[in-house]
């Protein structure tokens, strides 16, 4: 059994104040192993995002989205080491943001952080993967029209100015949302609402792609359904580490979080397929994958707080709301090419709201039996426990994450676009040639074009909108 940590607490400390030679005595190897493997699973999700987005995009821009997802790992790997971890999880920050007491990971080693079962350096590793996947989710907004260099610079700036503060508010004990309290188990606000809002703002600032119709988007199919399925598999598997690992120890709460995650994904996939089937009488693979991701997004903030029957409701409502939200971009006139806001932004909002409603049953009285599976006593959480004010706190968290991310993203991009060499959008010629050719000089595949322009092969009746907007639209073969 691990010994109780007996060193300095409350300020940054490497752990040597314990005056022991072996710092491992304070931690159970099972917990260390579980969180390390959860970190690896979250890392696996990031190329999953790249494959998912690549499959939905046009063939001539497919490789860019895979590359940007991997660049997100690298850029945030440095940013998180440099100052991101300190800004987010420093122990001595104010209600809004951490300080630089752990700048460059100084004094970051064996002192517990996040829970008594977790040393600082492991929390840094695990949460660093969350920090990396969030801009990877958002940066898909550049599809077909965004330049590479500004996107890379944006990832570093956005993570510092937008993600780190929201994550601090939500998960750091000093953060104002944490103290409220607004409950968010694994990142409905910092990860999904923030990335969805960022993608919406990025799409607004970039403008519509050439040939975009306000009612039908662009008439092309996702170029590789196989890549979409592959990306979904990576994401679904990785989400066990994403949600399960957020228990910050190997305990029954982590197991329950994994179970409800899988259940919500299953229900989300089923409801999206059925909603698509009602329109076209066809079984959509893309629809199933989109629905499964929607269910996973919706359950993320709730995974450590809800029982299995509530997770079923979360998955169904998450899939249905995200499916319907794919039409919002046409109402708003925004070319969100991959429906990132509809799936991640709206899905995160739905999950946060439902956390405030279905936060677990009271058993025994005055104790949450789901959240309490980690051995900690919690007060009543949701409406189901007659804690009526909680929904207001959840709505406050939603508005804070959306407002901060959308406003700051627009501001960052506006200022970047004024800097020589950092203009956001490719030229009309480069857009026509394709981002992979113009910006990368490499291709996802060796292929021969049969058509280049939408007008080359468009025919009456070739366009039909479906419940996933541009990612589901259909036309005759040959489009790139």
* pLDDT number for residue 43: 98
- In this structure, what token pair is assigned to residue 23? 């710092």
- Apex 420 CA angle, 415 and 423, nearest 5: 65
If DSSP states are collapsed to H, E and C, what string results for 15-52?
CHHHCCCCHHHHCCHHHHHHHHHHHHHHHHHHHHHHHH
Handedness of CA 31, 33, 38, 43 (dihedral sign): positive
CA distance 434 to 145: 8
330 φ/ψ angles, rounded to the nearest 5 degrees: -75, -35
Q: Would you state the torsion angle of the CA atoms of residues 438, 439, 443, 448, taken in this order, to the nearest 10 degrees?
A: -10
The CATH number for 29-418, chosen from 2.60.40.10, 1.10.3470.10, 3.50.50.60, 1.10.3430.10, is 1.10.3430.10
Q: Are the CB atoms for 331 and 339 separated by under 8 Å?
A: no
Residues contacting 345, CB < 8 A, separation 6+: 192, 193, 195, 196, 197, 199, 200, 402
Residues contacting 401, CB < 8 A, separation 6+: 166, 189, 190, 193, 194, 197, 348
Q: Would you state the torsion angle of the CA atoms of residues 180, 184, 188, 193, taken in this order, to the nearest 10 degrees?
A: 10
The helix, strand and coil proportions of the chain, stated in percent and rounded to the nearest 5, come to 65, 5, 35
CA distance 294 to 345: 10
CA distance 172 to 236: 27
* pLDDT number for residue 363: 55
If DSSP states are collapsed to H, E and C, what string results for 180-215?
CCCCCCCCHHHHHHHHHHHHHHHHHHHCCCCCCECC
Handedness of CA 182, 390, 394, 352 (dihedral sign): positive
Q: Residue 339's closest CA among 359, 324, 349, 317?
A: 324
The parts of the chain modelled with pLDDT lower than 50 are: 448, 457-480
Whole-model pTM?
0.91
Model pLDDT for residues 51-77, shown as the tens digit of each residue: 999 999 999 999 999 999 999 999 999
* pLDDT number for residue 343: 97
Looking up tokens 């959306």, which residue turns up? 402
CA distance 302 to 347: 12
Model pLDDT for residues 264-279, shown as the tens digit of each residue: 999 999 999 999 999 8
Q: Are the CB atoms for 101 and 12 separated by under 8 Å?
A: yes
- In this structure, what token pair is assigned to residue 207? 């403008």
Q: How far does Cα 390 stand from its chain's mean position?
A: 23
Q: How far does Cα 129 stand from its chain's mean position?
A: 11
119 φ/ψ angles, rounded to the nearest 5 degrees: -75, 155
């Amino acid at each position: 059994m691990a010994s109780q940590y007996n060193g300095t607490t409350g300020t940054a400390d490497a752990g040597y104040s314990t005056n022991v030679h072996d710092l491992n005595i304070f931690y159970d190897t099972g917990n260390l192993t579980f969180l390390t493997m959860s970190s690896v699973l979250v890392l696996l999700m990031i190329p999953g995002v790249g494959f998912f987005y690549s499959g939905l995009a046009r063939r001539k821009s497919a490789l860019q989205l895979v590359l940007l997802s991997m660049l997100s790992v690298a850029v945030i790997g440095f940013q998180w080491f440099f100052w991101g971890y300190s800004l987010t999880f420093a122990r001595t920050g104010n209600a809004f943001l951490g300080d630089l007491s752990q700048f460059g990971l100084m004094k970051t080693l064996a002192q517990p952080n996040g829970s008594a079962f977790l040393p600082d350096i492991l929390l840094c590793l695990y949460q660093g993967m969350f920090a990396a996947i969030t801009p990877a989710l958002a940066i898909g907004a550049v599809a077909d029209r965004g330049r590479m260099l500004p996107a890379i610079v944006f990832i570093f700036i956005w993570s510092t100015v937008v993600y780190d503060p929201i994550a601090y508010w939500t998960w750091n004990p000093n953060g104002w949302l944490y103290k409220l309290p607004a409950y968010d188990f694994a990142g409905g606000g910092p990860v999904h609402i923030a990335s969805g809002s960022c993608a919406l703002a990025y799409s607004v600032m970039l403008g519509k792609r050439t040939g975009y119709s306000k009612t039908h988007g662009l008439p092309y199919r996702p170029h590789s359904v196989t890549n979409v399925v592959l990306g979904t598999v990576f994401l679904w598997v990785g989400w066990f580490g994403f949600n399960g690992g957020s228990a910050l120890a190997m305990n029954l709460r982590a197991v329950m979080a994994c179970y409800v995650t899988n259940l919500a994904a299953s229900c989300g996939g089923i409801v999206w397929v059925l909603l698509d089937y009602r329109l076209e009488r066809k079984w959509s693979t893309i629809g199933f994958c989109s629905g499964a991701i929607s269910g996973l997004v919706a359950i993320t903030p709730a995974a450590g707080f809800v029982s299995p029957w509530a997770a079923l409701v979360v998955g169904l409502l998450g899939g249905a709301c995200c499916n319907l939200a794919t039409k919002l971009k046409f109402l708003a006139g925004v070319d969100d090419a991959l429906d990132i806001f509809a799936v991640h932004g709206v899905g995160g909002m739905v999950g946060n709201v439902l956390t405030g409603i279905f936060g677990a049953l009271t058993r025994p009285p005055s104790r949450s039996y789901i959240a309490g599976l980690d051995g900690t006593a919690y007060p009543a959480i949701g409406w189901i426990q007659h804690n009526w004010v909680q929904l207001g706190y959840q709505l406050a968290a939603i508005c804070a994450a959306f407002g901060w991310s959308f406003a700051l993203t627009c501001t960052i991009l506006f200022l970047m676009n004024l800097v020589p060499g950092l203009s956001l959008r490719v030229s009309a010629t480069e857009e026509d040639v394709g981002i992979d050719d113009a910006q990368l000089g490499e291709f996802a595949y060796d292929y021969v074009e049969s058509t280049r322009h939408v007008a080359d092969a468009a025919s009456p009746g070739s366009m039909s909108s479906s419940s996933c907007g541009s990612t589901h639209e259909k036309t005759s073969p040959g489009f790139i």
